[in-house]
Every structure is written in structure tokens, then in C-alpha cells.
């Protein structure tokens, strides 16, 4: 601190008053500390009236290249006969042909949606000729693209470098913007090319045509005083606006769901970092109010108003089980639900007389069509309310028919400004990680043991939030290779132990300085091999436990990164072991801010 004082005082004007001089020093120190603690993502705090930036300049989105027709040697066959398609029709045919080796093209819904949308692109003549998908032969087109992929894979190092340099040039031109004088990276500057919609699970819209986005569909957002991005030759923008209360650079409406798509800043940007920080700070504030909110929703269980009872039980599930709130959806979306959209058929009630437990069995498809199945003991009054909510209802009737997500979030915001069901989920996820890390980590652990402990804590959150995944296709093969490594390492350990035993025996029989050094060297070898073996065994345990659990979703969206950063600093774990390069860029604010004493 003395050195800091010397640095500051060199810039303090001379004054005869020691008190004045001290006062200036303390003022400067406060400003300096504020500067150190206020990185660029905090600069937006000056904003008023919802203003997010002062100036924004960019090149606009990068559109995919126009369709390049197939060579004349590659033909589409209908009923065994080659058919020449116009380019627009042929392009859509290539989307289907590229997916011939994928299970999607075996599904009836996918086939029907594709064929319906494809026929809309066809000319009247093509429609009259091509009337049955089963008579369509895309195999020649599929083979052509397989060969093209193989050619690209077999390119020389020099050829690949040329492509890489071309991609880098485009990134330099379109992948950055100027935001309040900072050169910021743009997250998704490329407009998605046309293709066929896949969706997750058994989505009813799978196979529908994702149409090509044209500049005429795109709204540009930038400053008034900068050069407006130029659309591709022969095109114009749908609209150019200068709205500094939003953070997107361009937007358009996609045709599958009618949703607005945005080009946004990269997660590592100032605005994204600030938004992340504020999100987790809101979740942390919930700690101060959570007890009163829990008391309030428990009181609602015995309310004389059915709406209040449903609110109390729904929030209990969101709090206890970290369920998503759930939103009303149109009939043409996948049949996935959250808490507020649960139907009677999604739960069963069980009374365990031997243990006096009241149990609710959940079974429904959550986000991304991931099955949520869970049996949980609940409070007696919750159980009684659920029986009441289910009374005289059909299986497909809403369980919580008096409330909606909007109503629930409105009530939460009244309890604490900014509080939503998602904030509750973030709060419970981050609290779980903090508690698990505190319980699972000890000072005497090795680095691999600490990483396993972290992943186990992360897994507890993923299980709480129902973040599942299918086992990777390469799982069995990679595990087999790992087990072979473990077996080989075990053999090395056994061999080294035998050699050490023999060396000790020889040293005992004929002691010498040389034999003593040999024993010491071999002891180090055995110790090193045992550490290597333990590391491989811990990795095997980690992979097995993580087989069907997706750790990334909670790590990126629900866990305050300051918990992980502080844990790394406290336990001497390189942050690179927890976050990859992209994640470190996204959480740069947390890496800068959090010290080892941070607790959520």
C-alpha cells in the first residue's frame, strides 16, 4: 500500500494543508480503486432510460452463398427416369439427399413435411410429374455430396490453409463491431443457410423447409452517425433503425415458427458480460428474500382461493425440483411441458403407509423433448392439494388450470423486483453447486481428485435441472481404449513393484551407495506410475458418471461462474481445467472479479 501511496501522491498538487493533501489522496485512491474494479462490462451503468450503448457500427450479416446447381452428370431420378429440375426445386432436393443416411429421413412426419414444402417450391409441371416421394431417387445426389465431403477431407494442408485464411478474412470483416469505441466480437454474424428443420425429439415440424433469408427480410440496427451497412448488390434492407435500448445488430423472422432471429454480440462482449453479471446478482439477492417467499407460498396451500393454492404448489415444485415454469404453446409445437403446463396425466400420487410418506410421481417430456421422470416425497398439504386439483378432471386436462407462467412471474416480481421462475432455477442451481463444492473438496486432494469433485458437484446440478443427453456414439469405443490404458498401466505398476522389491532385497544383502540410489529411483518410479494409474481410474469414473448427463447447459446458463473461479483460486486448480477457451471469454468478468473467498 505504501508504494501505491507514493504513486498517487506524485500527482497530487502541492498544498500547505496536510489535511487537504490527505483528502485529495483518499479521493484519488477511491477513483483508482473504482477504475480497477470497473472493467469495460460495467461502463454501461451510466445508461439512462434503458440505453444500452452510445454508438454502434457494423457491416451487417454475412449471407450464405447462392445455390450452385449440380453438374449435369448428377441426376435426380423419378420412377427410375432422370428428371431435370429447375435450380430452386433442385436446391431443396439436395437438402433431403444430404440426409439420406440420417434416421430423420426414415420418419414419416419428416418425409411428409419435406414433400409438402418441396411441392410448394416446384413449378406446376414438376408438381404434376413428381407426385409420390417413394418414387423419388436421391441416391446420385447423395453420392455426389459424400464424394465432395471426402474431397474436402483429403485436401492438402496448403489447400486447407487457403480456406482458413479466406474464412478469417470474412470474420475480420463481418465478425466484429465498434460498440462505444470498443472493438467487440459478434456472436453469430453468419445468416443460417436454408435447409430442412430437424427439431429435437419427435417434433411435429421436422422436415419442413427453412427458407433462404434475403436482405429484404432483415432489419439493421446501428447508430445514426455511422455508415449504414451495405446490403448485397441488387438488394435492400427491410428497414434500418437506430434503437440504442436493444443489444441486437440485425433481426429477421424465420419461417418455421415465426420467431424473431437476432444477430447479437459475442458472450465475451461488454454488454453480454454485464447482463450475465446482473442475472447472477439478482439470483444472489434471492437469498435475502427466499425464506419469506417460501413462507408465503406455503401459507397459500391452505388459502380459500383455488388460484392461490395452485400458485403455492406450483412455486413449491419450481423451488424444490428446479422445474421450468412452462409456457403455453401452439398446437403445432412439440408436446413438451413445464410446471404450469403440467396435465393430470403427467403425475401420479402414492401414499406409502409403512413410511407415512406422501409421494408424487412425475413423468413428462420437458424442454427439448427430454423425459423428466422423478418420484419425490412431498408435504402432506401439497399431496392433498394435488388430489383436489385432479378431482373430476380428464387425463389431458391442465393440473394448474387457474394459473399461468405470466401470473406466476408477476407474483414473484411483486415479492422481489426482477424475480422470475428462471431466477429461482438459477438460484437453486448455483446454491447446489456451492454447497456440493464445499462438501466434496478437501485440502489434501490431488488435482485429478479435485476435478472429479468439481464434476460431481456440477453433475448434482445437472441432475437437479434434468440436463440429460444420449450417451455419445463413441462412448463405448473411447471407454474401451481408456480401459486398455488402465490395464497397461496396471501391468507397468506391477512390473515396477517387482523390480523395486528385488532391488531392496539385493540392497539388503549387499548394501552400497549405488544400490541405495537405485532403490530410491525405483521408489519414485513406482510412485509416479501409481499417480498415473489413479489419474486414469479417476477419469474412467468421471466418464462413467457423466455418460448420460449434460454438464455444459448448467455450467453456461445456471451456475454463477464466480463460484467456479473462486473454487479454482482457493484450491489451486487452473481455471483452464474447468472452462475451455470460449467459456473463459464468456466469463472474463467473473475471472477478473471473483477472489478465493467468494461464496454465492
Chain-centroid distance, C-alpha 350: 35
Residue 286 has pLDDT above 50, yes or no: yes
Residue 293 has pLDDT above 90, yes or no: yes
Could you give the 3-state DSSP secondary structure of residue 37? coil
> Which residues does 102 contact at the CB level (< 8 Å), separation at least 6?
none
Q: What is the pLDDT of residue 333?
A: 56
Contact criterion met (CB below 8 Å) for 440 and 452 = no
Could you give the 3-state DSSP secondary structure of residue 374? strand
> Would you say the C-alpha torsion 456, 459, 463, 465 has a positive or negative sign?
positive
* Residue 260 DSSP label: E
CATH of domain 431-593: 1.10.132.10
- Cα angle value 127/131/132 (rounded, 5°): 145
Mean pLDDT of 554-577: 95
Q: Which residue has the higher pLDDT, 563 or 466?
A: 563
Q: What is the pLDDT of residue 151?
A: 94
* Highest mean predicted confidence (pLDDT) among 19-28, 225-234, 318-327: 225-234
Q: What is the pLDDT of residues 473-509, one digit of tens each?
A: 777 888 888 889 999 999 999 999 999 999 898 888 8
Residue 214 has pLDDT above 70, yes or no: yes
Residue 322 has pLDDT above 60, yes or no: yes
Contact criterion met (CB below 8 Å) for 589 and 276 = yes
Would you please indicate which residues are annotated as catalytic (active-site) residues? 558
Residue 10 has pLDDT above 90, yes or no: no
545 pLDDT band, cuts 50/70/90, is confident
Q: What is the pLDDT of residues 149-194, one digit of tens each?
A: 999 999 999 999 999 999 999 999 999 999 998 899 998 999 999 9
The CA distance from 66 to 75, in Å, is: 20
The CA distance from 164 to 172, in Å, is: 12
The CA distance from 414 to 409, in Å, is: 9
Q: What is the pLDDT of residue 428?
A: 94
Give me the chain's average pLDDT, please. 87
Minimum mean pLDDT among 215-219, 325-329, 421-425, 449-453: which range? Answer: 325-329
The CA distance from 153 to 41, in Å, is: 41
327 pLDDT band, cuts 50/70/90, is low
Q: What is the pLDDT of residues 38-94, one digit of tens each?
A: 444 455 454 557 888 999 999 999 999 999 999 999 999 999 999 999 999 999 999
Q: What is the pLDDT of residue 159?
A: 94
The CA distance from 246 to 225, in Å, is: 17
Q: What is the pLDDT of residue 329?
A: 53
Q: What topology is assigned to 46-266 in CATH?
A: DNA Topoisomerase I; domain 2 (2.170.11)
Percent of the chain with pLDDT over 70: 89
Q: Which residue has the higher pLDDT, 345 or 544?
A: 345
202 pLDDT band, cuts 50/70/90, is confident
Q: What is the pLDDT of residues 384-434, one digit of tens each?
A: 999 999 999 999 999 999 999 999 999 999 999 999 999 999 999 999 999
The CA distance from 401 to 281, in Å, is: 33
* Highest mean predicted confidence (pLDDT) among 212-226, 326-340, 347-361: 212-226
Q: What is the pLDDT of residue 269?
A: 86
Q: What is the pLDDT of residue 88?
A: 96
547 pLDDT band, cuts 50/70/90, is confident
Q: What residues does CATH 3.90.15.10 cover in the chain?
A: 272-425
Q: What is the pLDDT of residue 13?
A: 30
Minimum mean pLDDT among 8-12, 103-107, 110-114, 433-437: which range? Answer: 8-12
Residue 448 has pLDDT above 60, yes or no: yes
CATH of domain 272-425: 3.90.15.10
The CA distance from 239 to 222, in Å, is: 11
Residues, the chain:
600
Minimum mean pLDDT among 49-53, 64-68, 304-308, 437-441: which range? Answer: 49-53
Q: What residues does CATH 1.10.132.10 cover in the chain?
A: 431-593
Q: What is the pLDDT of residue 46?
A: 45
Q: What is the pLDDT of residue 249?
A: 97
The CA distance from 293 to 116, in Å, is: 51
Percent of the chain with pLDDT over 90: 69
* Residue 380 DSSP label: H
The CA distance from 495 to 485, in Å, is: 15
b/e per residue 245-280 (b: at least 16 CB within 10 A): eebebbbbeebbeeeebbbbbbbbbbbbbbbbbebb
Residue 15 has pLDDT above 80, yes or no: no
Q: What is the pLDDT of residue 155?
A: 93
SS3 content of the chain, % helix, strand, coil (to 5): 55, 10, 35
Amino acid at each position: 500500500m505504501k508504494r501505491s501511496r507514493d504513486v498517487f501522491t506524485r500527482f497530487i498538487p502541492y498544498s500547505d494543508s496536510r489535511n487537504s493533501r490527505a483528502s485529495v489522496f483518499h479521493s484519488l485512491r477511491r477513483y483508482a480503486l473504482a477504475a480497477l474494479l470497473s472493467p469495460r462490462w460495467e461502463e454501461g451503468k451510466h445508461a439512462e432510460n434503458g440505453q444500452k450503448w452510445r454508438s454502434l457500427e457494423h457491416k451487417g450479416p454475412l449471407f450464405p452463398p447462392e445455390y450452385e446447381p449440380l453438374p449435369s452428370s448428377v441426376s435426380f431420378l423419378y420412377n427410375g427416369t432422370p428428371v431435370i429440375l429447375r435450380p430452386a426445386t433442385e436446391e431443396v432436393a439436395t437438402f433431403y439427399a444430404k440426409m439420406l443416411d440420417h434416421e430423420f429421413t426414415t420418419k414419416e412426419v419428416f418425409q411428409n413435411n419435406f414433400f409438402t414444402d418441396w411441392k410448394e417450391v416446384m413449378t406446376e409441371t414438376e408438381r404434376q410429374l413428381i407426385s409420390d416421394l417413394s418414387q423419388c431417387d436421391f441416391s446420385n445426389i447423395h453420392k455426389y455430396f459424400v464424394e465432395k465431403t471426402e474431397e474436402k477431407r483429403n485436401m492438402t494442408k496448403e489447400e486447407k490453409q487457403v480456406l482458413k485464411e479466406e474464412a478469417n478474412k470474412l470474420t475480420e470483416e463481418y465478425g466484429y463491431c465498434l460498440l462505444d469505441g470498443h472493438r467487440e466480437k459478434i456472436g453469430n454474424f453468419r445468416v443460417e443457410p436454408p435447409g430442412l428443420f430437424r427439431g429435437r425429439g419427435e417434433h411435429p415440424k421436422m422436415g419442413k423447409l427453412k427458407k433462404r433469408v434475403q436482405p429484404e427480410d432483415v432489419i439493421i440496427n446501428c447508430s445514426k452517425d455511422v455508415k449504414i451497412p451495405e446490403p448485397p448488390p441488387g438488394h435492400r434492407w427491410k428497414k434500418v433503425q437506430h434503437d440504442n435500448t436493444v443489444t441486437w445488430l440485425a433481426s429477421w423472422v424465420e419461417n418455421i415458427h415465426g420467431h424473431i432471429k437476432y444477430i447479437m454480440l459475442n458472450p465475451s462482449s461488454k454488454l453480454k458480460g454485464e447482463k450475465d453479471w446482473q442475472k447472477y446478482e439478482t439470483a444472489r439477492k434471492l437469498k435475502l428474500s427466499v425464506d419469506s417467499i417460501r413462507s408465503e407460498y406455503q401459507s397459500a396451500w391452505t388459502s380459500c382461493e383455488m388460484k392461490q393454492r395452485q400458485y403455492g404448489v406450483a412455486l413449491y415444485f419450481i423451488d424444490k425440483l428446479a422445474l421450468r415454469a412452462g409456457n403455453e404453446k401452439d398446437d403445432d409445437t412439440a408436446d413438451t411441458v413445464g410446471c404450469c403446463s403440467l396435465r393430470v396425466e403427467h403425475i401420479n400420487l402414492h401414499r406409502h403407509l409403512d413410511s407415512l410418506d406422501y409421494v408424487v410421481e412425475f413423468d413428462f417430456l420437458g424442454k427439448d423433448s427430454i423425459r423428466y421422470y422423478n418420484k419425490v416425497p412431498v408435504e402432506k398439504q401439497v399431496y392433498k392439494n394435488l388430489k383436489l386439483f385432479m378431482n373430476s378432471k380428464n387425463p389431458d386436462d391442465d393440473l394448474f388450470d387457474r394459473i399461468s407462467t405470466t401470473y406466476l412471474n408477476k407474483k414473484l416480481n411483486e415479492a422481489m423486483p426482477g424475480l422470475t421462475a428462471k431466477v429461482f432455477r438459477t438460484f437453486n442451481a448455483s446454491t447446489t453447486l456451492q454447497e456440493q463444492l464445499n462438501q466434496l473438496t478437501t485440502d489434501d486432494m490431488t488435482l485429478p481428485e479435485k476435478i472429479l469433485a468439481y464434476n460431481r458437484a456440477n453433475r448434482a446440478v445437472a441432475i437437479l435441472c434434468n440436463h440429460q443427453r444420449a450417451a455419445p456414439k463413441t462412448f463405448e469405443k473411447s471407454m474401451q481404449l481408456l480401459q486398455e490404458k488402465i490395464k497397461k498401466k496396471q501391468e507397468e505398476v506391477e512390473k515396477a513393484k517387482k523390480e523395486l522389491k528385488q532391488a531392496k532385497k539385493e540392497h539388503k544383502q549387499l548394501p552400497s551407495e549405488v544400490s541405495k540410489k537405485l532403490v530410491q529411483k525405483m521408489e519414485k518410479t513406482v510412485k509416479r506410475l501409481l499417480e498415473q494409474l489413479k489419474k486414469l481410474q479417476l477419469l474412467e469414473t468421471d466418464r462413467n458418471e457423466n455418460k448420460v448427463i449434460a454438464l455444459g447447459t448448467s455450467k453456461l446458463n445456471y451456475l454463477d461462474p464466480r463460484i467456479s473461479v473462486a473454487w479454482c483460486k482457493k484450491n489451486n486448480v487452473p481455471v483452464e481445467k474447468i472452462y475451455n477457451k470460449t467459456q473463459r471469454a464468456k466469463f472474463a468478468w467473473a475471472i477478473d472479479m471473483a477472489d478465493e473467498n467468494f461464496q454465492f
